[in-house]
Structure 1
Amino acid sequence: MTVRQLDRDQCLDIIEKNRLGRLACISIGVPYIVPIHYVHAEDHLYAFSMPGRKIEALRSDPGAAILVEDIDTPQHWRTVMVRGRYEELPDRIGFKRLRDRAWQLLSRHAVWWEPGAYKPVAPALAFKSEQVFFRISIDEISGRESIDGD
């Protein structure tokens, strides 16, 4: 097996084809990693959550990383690491367009709210919702894959 670097377009292709990643952030001074569903658009990964440790950590330190894996077998895999910054899309004036865009992108896919929470209500029906829509910028992206060979 040989491991090789992926170029940016190959990395973006893997990001686009997948919906589940592992979000890494710093919580109270230590690494914290959780699974999230995401959607890629406009050089960002859009996601949803309910308030909790992950959101508290990202609000405190917006640096984040997301690992996306595409594994066929232990000898044939591709992984992509995105490094960027957390940006919350609150339910208030000035963020409506971005929040609606996140909702529109995410809701195209089945069970997009998992593993973050219960199914959220439509944005027009939400009142003082605790639902957190956010995005992670793609500031850096890198990837590797294993290929057959010696």
Structure 2
Amino acid sequence: MLGDLSNDEMERLLLAAPMGRIGCHSGGRTYIVPISFAYDGRRILAHTPEGRKVEMMRENPDVCFEVDEVIDLVNWRSIIAWGRFKELKDADAAVAMGLLFERLRPLVANTSSHGHALTPPSRAVSGASMVVFAIELTEMTGRYERQEP
């Protein structure tokens, strides 16, 4: 059975999923990349080294975000959300890093996928090459498929 996820189901998936995909577009090109994230009830929070996605989101802050949970081909959930990129600084960045740290700490050993040590929020925000950001969500849709018994 195919169906639409309720707002509560979408919230639960965003709170549970550790990885999503961000889609950005600028200069006539679209770029989609996986990110680890935390969800604070209204925004996607993440951090990343300076690079292509940050450059593209600075140029065009309108982004798309996708998260899914796939058990098998007939049992899955997926969310597509739209929003605006916003760089976070100072206290806002520290709060976001605190949420990220708490959300992701159980899922990693000592380093993140891009080779940076997973450190407490106060040290992580001070890294000059890291960008802490939010995607302020403006719209969200969700679908699912469940195999009926």
TM-score band by shorter chain is 0.7 to 0.9
Moved segments of 4+, more than 6 Å: none
Q: What displacement does 1:42 show?
A: 3.8
Residue 70 (structure 2) pairs with residue 71 (structure 1):
yes
Alignment of 1:1-150 (within 5 A): 2-90=1-89, 96-108=90-102, 109-110=104-105, 111=108, 114-119=112-117, 124-125=122-123, 129-149=128-148
The AA in structure 2 aligned to 1:56 is: E
Question: Scaled by the length of structure 2, what TM-score is found?
Answer: 0.86
The CA deviation string for residues 91-119 of structure 1, in whole angstroms up to 9 with x for no partner, is: xxxxx221111111011123497345512
| Greater per-residue helix proportion | 2
Task: In structure 2, give the amino acid aligned to 1:37.
Answer: S
Distance 2:122 2:22 in 1: 28
Q: Percent identity?
A: 26
RMSD: 2.2
Letter in 2 for 1:31: T
Please name the residue that 1:93 is paired with: none
Q: What TM-score comes out, normalization by structure 1 length?
A: 0.86
Task: Determine helix, strand or coil for the equivalent of 1:139.
Answer: strand
> Could you tell me whether the CA contact under 8 Å between 1:11 and 1:80 is conserved in 2?
yes
Q: Which segments of 5 or more consecutive residues in structure 2 lack a partner in the other structure? A: none
